[in-house]
Structure 1
Amino acid sequence: MLCRLTIRDFVLVDRLELEFQQGFSALTGETGAGKSILVDALAFALGERADAGLIRAGSERAEVNAEFDLAASPEATAWLQAHDLDTPGVLLLRRVLDASGRSRAYLNGSPVTVQQLREVAESLVDIHGQHAHQSLLRSEAQRALVDSHARLESLLAEVATAWRNWRAAKTLFDTASSGSEALSVEREQLEWQVHELQTLNFSTKEWQLLNEEHKRLGHAASLVEGAQFSLQILDEGDAACEAQVAAAINRLEGLCEYDPALSEITDLLQSVQAELGEAASALNRYTHRIELDPRRLVEVEQRIEAVLGCARKFRCAPDDLTMLLARWQERLSVLGEAADLAALEARATAARAQYEQLAQRLSGKRAQAVEVLGREVSQVMQQLALAGGRFEIALLPVEGGNAAGFEQVEFRIAGLAGSEPRSLAKVASGGEISRISLAIQVVTSQAASVPTLIFDEVDVGIGGGVAEVVGRLLRELGGKRQVLCVTHLPQVAARANWQWQVSKTIRAGAVRSHVATLEGDARVEEIARMLGGIDITSITRQHAREMLGLP
């Protein structure tokens, strides 16, 4: 859900911060006041194309921030996690445009590309109107809407998995069939390489231990000499540390009866004496354990050289030899299977049959779903000044199928621009697309995943009773989704849960757009203005109060 929109120096807006709520909201105002600027600003934040002309005159840059609550946006949350971006339950989209026309985009403070901004935005907001950001005109989005409405996501996932399995099996069979000689040469080469590494019998852990042992054996003389030297100083020499500390303890113990303060110092020295004794014992054990072993040193160096030689031969680091062996063994296993062409062909055939069975099931369920959906949307269209219009969903065959099944989906309209059904994108005008989209969204609102819907001028070319229907439908849709509608019809605005008014003001000789939240009498005045124009009478105000359900 869209929670907050902050706009700075965008077209006519200098600084504006809007807080949004759940439900249906209406955005109203005089023609030319800049109602659509807010929609344009949001579209800019969602990744729409932009140029320096969007920057307010006299400013160096424009900036729009859009904050979303992700509680109802699992797709956006999954996208953020997949791209290693923070997902604290809130998403902040930020986009900045400078005077050169260059824009920068951020998600939760992390810089991203505009394309990435568009990708995550597609699961957050749908803008319906005379804007390019309309998912319902994309074939892939149309198919996704049909499948979602029919609850076919699980079956679709099975079809996609079966498709990938079939393509992988077919690729393996085709490769084996066309390149059996080359595969045989590769297999012989790999068998020799695997034999070399298996003969080496090497492990990464052994390499670590070899290097540690080599250091120890190579410096054994120095280690023994150093240990014996330290032992002399600590315990065995005429002036050994331990003996000196013991003498100091004896001397101080005799003086403690004259000054008890020396007792604490004596205790410290006794601790030192104990530590020195432990260190001397440890050194004694070490000197007996360490030994000069030239023969073992030669063995270790020969083993190290064998490992290094093998690593040089296969052009890798010694630590990578184990991983290389595993990769070659895996490839050998694949090549071993590839040698059995009959088995590969049978596997590919079985995988194709599995895919076709699932895809046929999906096609059958889609056919049932599109018939019902087309009929329901057509019924709603009749109420939206689209009388005689018929909404159909065509399932167009895809040769050979794909991961989404045997067909692609195309939304079509009949009865508006001709009797024959034609593609929605090619037949309907901007206003018609908005109202058709409204009809579709009302029918599919329970299944669709985008939590925020924006309708810009969905009431173009309608009025009277139809406008009341639009308002009622938007109010109904607002009970399930967040809906924002830019409108000039009082019948639509009066149905909104809350309402904003956009107006133009002049400050310091510059035109600015201003947005005010309308409540109580202020909202009555705005509805009355929309009803009666410049001269607002008491009758107009009373009519406005009746439309708002006020006494």
Structure 2
Amino acid sequence: MLKSLEIKDYALIDHIQIEFEKGLNIITGETGAGKSILLDAMSLLLGERASSEVVRKGAQKSFVEGIFEVEGNKKVKALLEENDIEFFPELIVRREISLKGSNRCFINDSPVPLNLIKEIGDLLVDLHGQHEHQSLLKTETHIDFVDDFFSNEKLLNEYQSLYHQLKRKKAELNELKNKEALLKEKKDIYQFQINEIDSVNPLPQEDEELIEELNVLENSENLLLLSDEIYNLIYESDNSVNDMLGEVKHKLSQLSSIDKSMLEAEGECESALTIIKELASTIRAYKSKIDVDPKEVEEKRERLAAINLLKKKYGGTLQKVIEYRQKIGNEFNLAENFSEEISRYEKELKELQKQAGEAAQRLSESRKRQSKKIEAEVKKVLSQLGITEPQFEVRITSELSDNNEDYILINSKKYLYSEKGIDEIEFFISTNPGEDLKPLVKVASGGEVSRIMLSLKTILAKNDKLPLLIFDEIDTGVSGRIAQKVGQALRDLASYHQIIAITHLPQIAAMANHHFVVEKTQEDNRSVSHIRKLNEEEHIREVAKLLSGEKLTDASIQSAVQLIKSSR
């Protein structure tokens, strides 16, 4: 509900602040006092566009702010969270329009775009009158009125679940068909890449294992070379250490035979010769244990090079090469077997088209079966609200599809469909005897639109989700007993919604739970509009003015008292 409305420097309004309450809030006032200006300002909170011309003379900007009670409103909460705005039980909506033409919008003090203000407004308020913020004048909303009346939520949910599955499956099939053309172009490339990778056929982590093996093999070759050189130096080659020590030993033997003091040196040389022979034997045994196959080394080197080339071309690591091979293998197999895959998807799509069609048919039959109840109820209430011999029709139509791709199936026939089923629903009306039924959206009279909406809201009151309804000119063309019926309908509707209604009729004003009056005064040679809430005595006097004019009499006051009592 709307708790308060503050307007500053808007047209004839200097500064007003109104506290609204639950129930029926009636606004009255003389013609030209500023009631329409008040509604114009209020429409800004519903996302209507504004011109800098509304800025009051002498001011730099206009300011309109509404505080709404939204505790428990899940749709508002979800929309705010979707837009990263913190949710509070009270929602503050503010618009600022400057002389320079800039238009600033705020929700809970956070700057927001105008379209978000409008989305919030559509969840909170329905304004009926001269303005375009009228859900009844949007043909696409008529189907929602019907479903709300019948409580078709379960049938609608069942259909919409299948609808979304159908849309997903259709998107997947289209993607598959688009992919088919692309894969056919890439098939030869994939075949070449598959052959190139499979010719090497690398195993997971094989590159790391080859590096380790080559490290050992390449060191073994080096060890063999070194040990062979050592063996040659000390034993095998000409002038080897063994031969040279043998020659030294021979010379020392000759020397010691002459000089016995060299016998020890001869013995040390013998020991050295023995050590060299033992070392040569050790080297020979070590060399014999080294087994090097140059061919194997070369093969491993070549395989590692081939793997490294694959890594360079297909991802940088062996794991990515293997993953890529699996991916293009699947794509290649898909290209090879596309007809089977598409047939499977088409079969699943056809089944969903059939299931969605059956659900849409159940929903459509429910709407058609019950629509006569709406027609009868609306005509009954319209008659009570002063529209003589009204005709009202809920026209439900559906169309066969000439699109061979996008449709749902009902009894083997292809139908156009939307998220709400196969039905197009539009209200038709005739408000004068003898006139043909015409689309409701073409009804010109604001008063008639308001009373039609009032009749619909009366029969849909318990199911309608909008917390605030605003009616302007709902009393156009009615008086007397009919006006009292209109007032009573508003009063009854106010049991389910907060109602704000502007009226000129005492019969309607007498029904008010809360009565406000708009007045225009002269201040500093300028016209200024004010609004104030009336107490019980003022309420009686205002109803009396509506009965007899500005000049009050005891009779008019007494009549007002009786009228108010009869409305309670």
TM-score normalized by the length of structure 1: 0.73
Q: What is aligned with 2:3?
A: 3
Answer whether contact 1:147 1:366 (CA < 8 A) is retained: yes
Deviation of the 1:342 alpha carbon: 2.1
Q: CA-to-partner distance for each residue in 1:263-309, whole Å, 9 max, x for gaps?
A: xxxxxxxxxxxxxxxxxxxxxxxxxxxxxxxxxxxxxxxx9999998
The correspondence of residues 23-422 of structure 1 with structure 2, limited to 5 A, is: 23-71=23-71, 73-173=73-173, 176=176, 180-185=180-185, 339-399=340-400, 400-416=416-432, 419-422=435-438
What amino acid sits opposite 2:502 in the alignment? V
Q: What is aligned with 1:224?
A: none
Q: CA-to-partner distance for each residue in 1:41-91, whole Å, 9 max, x for gaps?
A: 110121112111211111111010111111353222221122221111221
Alpha-carbon distance in structure 2 between the residues aligned to 1:89 and 1:330: 54
Instruction: Note closer, same or farther for the CA distance 1:323–1:518 as it changes in structure 2 (3 Å cut).
Output: farther
Q: CA-to-partner distance for each residue in 1:484-514, whole Å, 9 max, x for gaps?
A: 1000101001101110011011112221111
Q: Secondary structure at the match of 1:62?
A: strand
Q: What is aligned with 1:471?
A: 487
Deviation of the 1:164 alpha carbon: 2.9
Q: CA-to-partner distance for each residue in 1:364-385, whole Å, 9 max, x for gaps?
A: 1111232211211111000111
Answer whether contact 2:310 2:321 (CA < 8 A) is retained: no
Deviation of the 1:186 alpha carbon: 5.4
Q: Secondary structure at the match of 1:183?
A: helix
Unaligned runs of 5+ in 1: 203-302
Q: Which one is further off, 368-377 or 159-168?
A: 159-168
Aligned: 1:530 with 2:546: yes
Alpha-carbon distance in structure 2 between the residues aligned to 1:65 and 1:160: 38
Answer whether contact 1:73 1:449 (CA < 8 A) is retained: no
Alpha-carbon distance in structure 1 between the residues aligned to 2:22 and 2:315: 64
Instruction: Note closer, same or farther for the CA distance 1:397–1:9 as it changes in structure 2 (3 Å cut).
Output: same
CA radius of gyration, larger in: 2
Q: What is aligned with 1:450?
A: 466
Alpha-carbon distance in structure 1 between the residues aligned to 2:86 and 2:333: 41
Instruction: Note closer, same or farther for the CA distance 1:308–1:532 as it changes in structure 2 (3 Å cut).
Output: farther
What amino acid sits opposite 1:124 in the alignment? L
Deviation of the 1:459 alpha carbon: 0.2
Q: What is aligned with 2:502?
A: 486
Q: Which one is further off, 328-337 or 483-492?
A: 328-337
Instruction: Note closer, same or farther for the CA distance 1:321–1:86 as it changes in structure 2 (3 Å cut).
Output: farther
Answer whether contact 2:388 2:433 (CA < 8 A) is retained: no
How large is the Cα RMSD of the aligned pairs? 3.5
Deviation of the 1:140 alpha carbon: 2.0
Instruction: Note closer, same or farther for the CA distance 1:177–1:326 as it changes in structure 2 (3 Å cut).
Output: closer
Deviation of the 1:188 alpha carbon: 8.0
What amino acid sits opposite 1:543 in the alignment? S
Answer whether contact 2:176 2:342 (CA < 8 A) is retained: yes
% of aligned pairs identical? 31
Q: Which one is further off, 448-457 or 78-87?
A: 78-87
Answer whether contact 2:4 2:18 (CA < 8 A) is retained: yes
Answer whether contact 2:142 2:426 (CA < 8 A) is retained: yes
Deviation of the 1:330 alpha carbon: 11
Alpha-carbon distance in structure 2 between the residues aligned to 1:327 and 1:116: 44
Answer whether contact 1:442 1:477 (CA < 8 A) is retained: yes
Q: Secondary structure at the match of 1:133?
A: coil
Answer whether contact 2:139 2:441 (CA < 8 A) is retained: no
Alpha-carbon distance in structure 1 between the residues aligned to 2:457 and 2:46: 20
Q: CA-to-partner distance for each residue in 1:342-382, whole Å, 9 max, x for gaps?
A: 21221111010011011101101111232211211111000
Q: Which one is further off, 162-171 or 56-65?
A: 162-171
Alpha-carbon distance in structure 2 between the residues aligned to 1:165 and 1:150: 25
Answer whether contact 2:3 2:69 (CA < 8 A) is retained: yes
Q: Count matched residues.
A: 444
Alpha-carbon distance in structure 1 between the residues aligned to 2:419 and 2:124: 25
Instruction: Note closer, same or farther for the CA distance 1:434–1:308 as it changes in structure 2 (3 Å cut).
Output: farther
From 555, 558, 564, give the equivalent of 1:539: 555
Answer whether contact 1:173 1:338 (CA < 8 A) is retained: no
Instruction: Note closer, same or farther for the CA distance 1:58–1:412 as it changes in structure 2 (3 Å cut).
Output: same
Deviation of the 1:466 alpha carbon: 0.5
Answer whether contact 1:467 1:492 (CA < 8 A) is retained: yes
Answer whether contact 2:510 2:543 (CA < 8 A) is retained: yes
Q: Secondary structure at the match of 2:146?
A: helix
Deviation of the 1:35 alpha carbon: 1.3
Runs of 4+ aligned structure 1 residues displaced above 3 Å come to 170-181, 183-193, 198-202, 303-313, 320-339
What amino acid sits opposite 1:416 in the alignment? N
Alpha-carbon distance in structure 2 between the residues aligned to 1:328 and 1:98: 61
TM-score normalized by the length of structure 2: 0.71
Q: Which one is further off, 156-165 or 90-99?
A: 156-165
Q: Which one is further off, 454-463 or 332-341?
A: 332-341
Instruction: Note closer, same or farther for the CA distance 1:449–1:338 as it changes in structure 2 (3 Å cut).
Output: farther
Answer whether contact 1:416 1:428 (CA < 8 A) is retained: no
Alpha-carbon distance in structure 2 between the residues aligned to 1:496 and 1:327: 73
Deviation of the 1:17 alpha carbon: 1.0
Q: What is aligned with 2:535?
A: 519
Q: Which one is further off, 96-105 or 395-404?
A: 395-404
Alpha-carbon distance in structure 2 between the residues aligned to 1:187 and 1:36: 70
Alpha-carbon distance in structure 1 between the residues aligned to 2:106 and 2:134: 22
What amino acid sits opposite 1:394 in the alignment? R
Q: CA-to-partner distance for each residue in 1:156-185, whole Å, 9 max, x for gaps?
A: 233223223223333444554576343345
Q: Secondary structure at the match of 1:468?
A: helix
Alpha-carbon distance in structure 2 between the residues aligned to 1:62 and 1:423: 38
What amino acid sits opposite 1:527 in the alignment? V
Answer whether contact 2:18 2:532 (CA < 8 A) is retained: no
Instruction: Note closer, same or farther for the CA distance 1:324–1:117 as it changes in structure 2 (3 Å cut).
Output: farther
Q: CA-to-partner distance for each residue in 1:174-216, whole Å, 9 max, x for gaps?
A: 55457634334557878969x99x98989xxxxxxxxxxxxxx
Answer whether contact 2:34 2:529 (CA < 8 A) is retained: yes
Alpha-carbon distance in structure 2 between the residues aligned to 1:15 and 1:165: 54
Deviation of the 1:102 alpha carbon: 2.5
Alpha-carbon distance in structure 1 between the residues aligned to 2:161 and 2:436: 37
